[in-house]
Amino acid sequence: HAAALKLEYMLIDDGWYVGNQGNGRYSAEADITRAIPQLDLPMLIDHARQRGVGIWVWAHWRSLEPRMDAVFAQYQAMGIKGVKVDFMDRDDQQMVAFFHRLMHSAAAHQLMVNMHGAYRPTGLNRTWPNYLTQEGVLGAENNKWSRRITPTHNLTLPFTRMLTGPMDYTPGGFRNVAVGAFEPAFVAPRVMGTRAHQLAMFVVYESPLQMVADSPDMYVDADGADFIADVPASWDETRVLAGAIGEHIVIARRKGKDWYLGAMTNEQARTLDVSLAFLGKGAWAATSWSDGDAPTDVLRTQRVLASSDKLTLALKASGGAVVKLSPTE
């Protein structure tokens, strides 16, 4: 599924190593260097590599901390590309020192890093370019037990938490329901708002590593999955075109010659007229993914636009839209 979606990496999450129960809890008996018998990790790494997909692994920080250098050396030798370290959950002097030590060790062993269960960003990614992203955000995971991940919350994050640095919100929930129909569920969790609202997060939310949140089968032949397969995770230029805290936002980001535009609204439906003056001269092929009748519906349309045009985006309540703009020449 990762290769079909053109994703560069796949994460093996909590529960993959011996003594790790998959419930986020630390066990002193856990062995972070040995996969459970059901998982042939070397075979999986090779299988993924042949399909152009790199493997990341999840790690509880307490299992990693006592022998970090040895563990990372083994991961590097196996061909693992990155580690998602979890459940630090504090920012005292000891934990900050652990962050610095981990970045140094991971860089020495050519491993990328995602710090989940982490405090808010403090600029460490400017020192360690292998440190791609971190949580420190009330993200999509909370839909499993909470009603707090509302569209208004989603429209507050770009103006607050995102200003401090990359955030691992884990967008891309494809079990989309209206706000009034939402119920927290630990199995097959749903998300408030439309699918286009989720797609827009891949443009609006800044994170050089974007985690696609839902189970792999949810993306097979699904409306909007083609956008996830196409959208970059790092950018050459950013323009904030419109926005109001907790209400709506429109951001345009450029990768190479292509522009990607993401728009989101809160629980209020709204129509936004967006200036395309940032595009420059020439004609631009525009592909749009926007709200349909049902929360899971995505309307895909194509047309040709110029920088003199106004782009009108009709966003449903808790909705969104994304547009890819490519020069026609």
Tokens 């909007």 belong to residue: 224
Task: For residues 205 and 213, give the distance between their C-alpha atoms in angstroms, rounded to a whole number.
Answer: 14
Dihedral sign, Cα of residue 306, residue 309, residue 310, residue 312: negative
CA-based nearest residue to 121, from 99, 152, 143, 142:
99
> 141 an active-site residue?
yes
Closest by alpha carbon to 322, among 200, 205, 158, 224? 200
User: Which candidate in 8, 14, 31, 86 is catalytic?
Assistant: 86
Q: 87, exposed or middle or buried, with CB in 10 Å at 0-12, 13-18, 19+?
A: middle
86 is catalytic: yes
> CA-CA distance, 252 to 261, in Å (whole number)?
4
Q: Which two tokens stand for residue 65?
A: 């901390």
Instruction: Catalytic residue, from 141, 168, 214, 291: name it.
Output: 141
| Three-class DSSP category at 187 | coil
**How far apart are the C-alpha atoms of 210 and 163, rounded to whole Å?**
17
Q: 10 Å Cβ neighbour count for 143? A: 23
Given a contact cutoff of 8 angstroms between Cβ atoms, the answer to whether 311 and 276 are in contact is yes
Could you give the residue numbers annotated as active site?
Answer: 86, 141
